[in-house]
Structure 1
Amino acid sequence: MPGSTRIVVEDPDAGQTHTYEVTTQPLGGNAAVDPSGNVTYTPNSGFTGSDLFEVTVTDDGAPPLSVTVAIEATVLLNVVITDPADATVTQAATVTVAGTVSTSADLVEVNGIAATLGGGTFQATVPLEEGTNLLVAVARAPSGATGNAVVRLMRDSVLGRSATACELISLRPDGERKEARS
């Protein structure tokens, strides 16, 4: 998946035109820069790790200036929980979580419990608490790539009371607690 950044030039000579050019391509991918200095890096298929490339800026005939752009390419694994569906309500004390994952994953855990893994699928049985449960599947590959998926599940051991909705509680980066019902 491509990543992007922008080269910003601080020039005391207002109104001059800047020309941007990738003068040294990265070894692990391809870099391109547009006339506004927006740079896009696209890693080669399967490439992960550090990479460098150089962008040169020219200012209406002034000596060119070069900057080295350093990036870290990581691969995110595709993880999907296929069962149970989001916002499921159950009386059970445990649930079997099943899903699919990129075939390069060598480990999947659901709520910290190791899942059986094979042929791009995973499965784990996890205990449930009374009320809303977040089921979090985290996958890892030998390369260090990771990915995750989350579904909500409501355990109501006495089905029939008002167990028709799931509550989602999240903490914002500023520490504020936000609650929602669905």
Structure 2
Amino acid sequence: MPYEPPPELAGLSLAEIAELTAARQLPPVDQWAPEREADSLMTIKADGRWFHEGDEITRAAMIRAFASLLWRDAQGQHWLVTPQEKQSIEVEDAAFVAVDVKRDGDALVFRLNTDDLVIAGPDHPIRAAGDPETPALYLGVRHGTEARLNRSTYAQLAEIAIEGGDLTVTSQGATFALTPA
């Protein structure tokens, strides 16, 4: 069955987004504890492109499948996890890139480069890094992984913050600063 991406973020209500998110059956990688380890020979570049042994992976469905198996441990190492084995994967910056954002009531919804939809909040925090002159914003995705906001998404979020009168945003009751501490 061919993969059909979700509709454009702007055309979805929060209820529709929640329904799409709940319907996605993700593997329970946080429940698997394989003893066998290997190197996947894969890299996720800072711009979100995936490579295996130096060759770019261009099939979106393959990237989406691999992305569903990602997990980041407490030391910051990213892994592709299956019940039998976990394979290390090099990640230059963040495993995902946030490519769009929409405010819907008290929720900020992000679309990732993998077409995942993530609602920011206590379980998916926004983190400001870098320095005040060159900040970088990250969104918690799942299993310790994050998405870095691309330039246009960062600008969209900054506009939302400015409308609120300061450099913070609120989503699902949690407030996030857009400048590093």
**TM-score normalised by L of structure 2:** 0.25
**TM-score normalised by L of structure 1:** 0.25
Q: Larger % of helix: which?
A: 2
Q: Which has the higher contact order (CA 8 A, sep 6+)?
A: 2
